[in-house]
Amino acid sequence: MMNRRRFLGAGLGAAVAAPLVGAYAQADEGRRVLTASDVHVKDYPTVEAVRWIGDAMARETGGRLTLRQYHSGQLGREAEAIDMARFGVIDITRVFSGALNNALPLTQALCLPYVFESVAHQRRVLDGDVGQAVLDSFGARDLVGLALYDSGARCFYNNKHPITKPADLHGMKMRVAASDIFIRLIRLLGANPTPMSLGETFSAMETHMIDGAENNMRSFHSSRHFEAAKYWSETRHSYAPDVLVMSRASFQSLQPADRERLVRLARESVPIMRAKWDASESEARKAVLEHGIQANEVDIPAFRKAAQPLLDAYHQQPQIEALYRRIRDLA
């Protein structure tokens, strides 16, 4: 297996020698191998969707264009993967939209608390002009937005007690993604935000460095966080999506027909990812409940009220406010 250090050494060398072709591009007989990374495990819906893209691409090009995947965080954390894609060391990566908020401001509109009412509402938005506007904005950071993958409702889980109202979070140390929106939200709810990678969270809960975290049910299960956190609370405070992005340099180095093919296949992978997501989320919920996780509903109006100051601050930003209104119109 290619480890991260060997990959980076090979990739950086390739980037110096041929910065427009990615770490593992092959020129022999016009063949090309694209690289893709994800921090999630091999059967996670986003990983399976990208695998489908690779299989379809190989089939349509007779093996001339193929995809090599590195899942389970083999190439490091999401922040590192974003930088590697920007500089063409890898070609494609799947990242959580919250990790892009600072670099790509339009993604903020998709991550605001309680901007989406449901999965169905979110999917209507991502499939429409709002989703396209967000994808188009990636060009400003040397990236190409290929697809938006929804990732369910984000909720709180912890190893201390059930959370039914914001006051139950007071004083708790909660892991969050490195996103200003999520950090500020946790503070407004009275908890202490602790930004860290997904891969560090399990041990942090086990050693009581943190008391809990927030994420979707599928990740709660696949990361085995349910073994360290007993309580799951249905706050559904965010439906922030995942994003499939590509190095702009790598994208532009493809033949025009292959660019069109890749964009088309990425969009066609969205319903495939969603079908796998819906099935696996249901299975994950069943599995953690059978393990003994205590799940509870919460006072959603109280959480909305506590989060309102954060929304008020973002309403002052014209671009974000415009997208926010378009999202709410589709509720």
Q: 101 with 197, same domain? A: no
Number of domains in the chain: 2
Q: Which of 131, 161, 133 is nearest to 148 (CA)?
A: 131
CATH number of the CATH domain containing 39: 3.40.190.170
User: Which pLDDT score, from 0 to 100, does residue 5 have?
Assistant: 53
Task: Write the CB contacts of 325 (distance below 8 Å, at least 6 apart in sequence).
Answer: none
Q: 224 with 191, same domain? A: yes
14 has pLDDT over 60: no
Q: 106 with 158, same domain? A: no
Q: 189 with 222, same domain? A: yes
| Domain containing residue 323 | 154-239+282-329
Q: 190 with 42, same domain? A: no
Query: What separation in angstroms does the CA of 154 have from each of 120, 168, 177, 211, 238?
Result: 15, 17, 12, 17, 5
User: Which pLDDT score, from 0 to 100, does residue 30 have?
Assistant: 81
Q: 289 with 271, same domain? A: no
Q: Which of the four pLDDT bands, split at 50, 70 and 90, describes residue 19? A: very low
Please state, for a pLDDT cut of 70, what percent of the chain lies above it.
91
What whole-number distance in Å separates Cα of residue 246 and Cα of residue 94? 9
Q: pLDDT tens across 245-301, in order?
A: 999 999 999 999 999 999 999 999 999 999 999 999 999 999 999 999 999 999 999
The helix or strand, by DSSP H or E, that contains position 145, with its residue range, turns out to be strand 143-149
Tokens 């974000």 map to which residue? 320
What whole-number distance in Å separates Cα of residue 315 and Cα of residue 324? 8
Q: 117 with 196, same domain? A: no
12 has pLDDT over 50: no
The count of other CB atoms within 10 Å of the CB of residue 257 is 9
* 13-27, 182-196, 256-270, 286-300: least confident range: 13-27
Q: 56 with 13, same domain? A: yes
Q: 252 with 305, same domain? A: no
Q: 65 with 177, same domain? A: no
Q: 165 with 126, same domain? A: no
Q: 14 with 46, same domain? A: yes
Q: Which of 102, 99, 138 is nearest to 242 (CA)?
A: 99
Q: Which of 217, 240, 226 is nearest to 155 (CA)?
A: 217
206 has pLDDT over 50: yes
Question: Could you tell me the pTM of the whole model?
Answer: 0.90
